[in-house]
Each structure stands twice: as C-alpha cells, then as structure tokens.
Structure 1
C-alpha cells in the first residue's frame, strides 16, 4: 500500500462517515475503495480512480448478471475477487522497490 493510500484509509477509519456506515450497515471492499478514492466534495481523486471505479462497477454487473439465477450465491462475498481481477493481487514488491529507491537516494 502506498503512503497516500495508507493515509486515506487511516483518515477514513477515524472519520464520522465510517462511523455512520458501520452503524447503519456493512460495506465491502468495493464501497471502501470508492469512499477512499474520492475528495471531500465527492468527486474522484484522479482520472485513474474514475477508470478503476468504472471497471469495478462493470465487473460487479457481470457477476450480478451471471449469478442472478443462483439464489444461493452471495454477491457480498465476491468483492475481493472483483478487486483482484481489476487491480491484480496485492504486490508487496512495489513497497519494497520504493523503500530501496529511497535508500539509494539517501546514500
């Protein structure tokens, strides 16, 4: 996770918005992504965030269409799968590469 992403998540977890959401209902990874990638005015932070949100929304719609006939399927459980399909699996190597780059700069 990049520093700005960590800051956004920490800010969200300490916000009134999170308290309202957690007291009213459960929310998943897709909703968390949406919340943490928006500015205070509600607009997306970047054009990349807009593109990712659209891909997530489209992938969710695909799953809903595919599973509409299977009543035993819980769409809430597929948020993680959708995130992985759109963003790819967590890549811890990115953080390591950033740490190494900063070390090299300091040296």
Structure 2
C-alpha cells in the first residue's frame, strides 16, 4: 500500500489522482459504501429549476435598469464612502447637493445622462435662488437649504428613505426625530 502525500496548502490544489487514491485506500481499509449522491443531488436540484426562471429574472432586472432616470457613478462604493473620501481630499463637509454632483458625473466631469444634467441645472438654479433670498432675509436657515432644494427638484422623499445618502440611512437618523 502506498502512502498518500498531503503536503498541499489547500485541498483544491491536490491533483484528482491523489484524491482518488486516498478514496481507494479508505475503501480498502474500511467497510464503507461511498455513494456519489452528494454529487448528483445538486445536479438534480438544478434540473428542477424551471428553464425560463433565470431569463425572466434577467429580463426584469434589465427593464428595471432601463427605467432608471439617472444612474450614479459610485459603483460598489457607498455614498458615505464617496462623501468621506471627498471630505478628506477637500477638507470640507460634503452636502447632499455636492454629493449628487460628484456621484452623477463621468470621469470627464460631464453628466452621466441628459436627465442627470437637467437635474443638476435645476439644483444649481434653485441653490442660487435660495442663496439670493438668504442674503436678504436672515430668517432663512442655510443648513436646511440643500434639503429643501432636493425636495423641490426631485420630489418628496419616499417613506423611510433619504435621497443621495445611500442605503442604511433613514430620515430620523439624517433629519432628526421630527423629520419630514
């Protein structure tokens, strides 16, 4: 009987011939009935899956993606990570309007889509309008302007969501306990 060398970092690196040899050695020494049902079971499960299921999900995902009005360029980074990176590089706090601008532009600084460009223009115009009002009226809260502008341009926030903050941020966390 030959000895089995098991000096591999990972079981996956061991050649199949060595694995088969190990199985043969075990079968010789012990009265085991080794079944291959553990291999066949997943194949049966896959075979049970309706053929059009994956295609249906893909079609739904594609149509949902096409319905998006504007896409962001943050990729797999969260909006919080993008904001933090920008704050570290600029040394200033990043507001929601600035974060929208950062995450909806291509590398060449052009808007991702025409819709995103139009929204950026509206946001910029509203900001200028509110800043003009704030300069003449001291009762206007400058800290709340970004939130008002976003609500006016993009519509009210969906329940339990805060736009341009990514997942995981709810209105109570962002706006406080007496949130919108």
State the TM-score, normalizing by the size of structure 2.
0.41
Extract unaligned runs of 5+ from structure 1: 93-107
1:13–1:35 CA distance, 2 compared to 1 (3 A): same
How many residues are aligned here?
A: 87
Report which structure shows greater RCO (CA 8 Å, sep ≥6).
1
**Corresponding position: 1:45 with 2:45:** no
Runs of 4+ more than 3 Å apart: 12-15, 70-74
1 CA distance for matches of 2:103 and 2:131? 24
Select the structure of larger CA radius of gyration: 2
Give 1:31's match in structure 2, choosing from 74, 80, 98.
98
Q: Residues 38-76 of structure 1: CA distance to partner in whole angstroms, max 9, x if unpaired?
A: 112211100001100000011111111111123464423
State the TM-score, normalizing by the size of structure 1.
0.66
Q: Which structure has greater helix proportion?
A: 1
The answer (yes or no) to whether the contact 1:56–1:86 under 8 Å persists in 2 is yes
Extract unaligned runs of 5+ from structure 2: 1-67, 160-180
